[in-house]
């Protein structure tokens, strides 16, 4: 399971990186489309915070302190900083996944995030779905603001 999750997270964090990289104009990252609440840049910040929290802080003991409000409130962060942050969180996720053993995967995840107790394995599968879902939103946002249909 760890190897499968490792490969899936690597693949989809790279997709996230590519989506941010493909914005034609840096300002487009921060546009909010009619009928939506968040820009592509803010969704990327949210994913970076999410992965740093649930992989880094809770499983990797990195000491990461999440500011969820800033994930949705910060604007106009340069694309290069977002890309560097994605690279850094990719290293965190890779390191944690490479060190987890079977008993840790079957153990109860250290934080009750979803309102019920779950194994680490279950929660990591949930986190992968969360990453893929929001990366798809960024893809749509990017294509819309770049007028690529």
Kindly report, residue by residue over 121-147, the tens digit of the pLDDT: 999 999 999 999 999 999 999 999 988
Q: Report the pLDDT value the prediction gives residue 148, as an integer from 0 to 100.
A: 78
Q: Report the pLDDT value the prediction gives residue 38, as an integer from 0 to 100.
A: 96
Q: What pTM, to 2 d.p., does this model score?
A: 0.95
- Quick check: 149 pLDDT over 70? no
DSSP 63-121: -----HHHHHH-----HHHHHHHHHHHHHHHHHHHHH--HHHHHSBPSS--SSS--BHH
Contact 130, 114 (CB under 8 A): no
Contact 31, 145 (CB under 8 A): yes
Average pLDDT over every residue of 35-56: 97
Structural domain boundaries in the chain: 2-145
CATH fold label, 2-145: 1.20.120
């Amino acid at each position: 399971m760890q190897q499968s999750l490792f490969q899936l997270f690597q693949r989809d964090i790279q997709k996230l990186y590519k989506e941010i990289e493909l914005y034609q104009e840096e300002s487009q990252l921060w546009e909010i489309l009619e009928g939506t609440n968040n820009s592509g840049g803010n969704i990327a910040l949210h994913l970076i915070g999410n992965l740093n929290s649930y992989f880094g802080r809770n499983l990797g003991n990195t000491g990461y302190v999440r500011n969820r409000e800033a994930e949705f409130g910060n604007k106009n962060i340069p694309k290069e900083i977002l890309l560097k942050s994605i690279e850094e969180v990719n290293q965190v996720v890779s390191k944690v996944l490479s060190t987890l053993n079977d008993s840790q995967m079957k153990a109860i995840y250290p934080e009750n995030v979803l309102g019920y107790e779950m194994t680490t394995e279950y929660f990591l599968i949930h986190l992968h779905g969360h990453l893929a879902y929001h990366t798809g939103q960024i893809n749509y946002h990017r294509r819309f603001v770049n007028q690529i249909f």
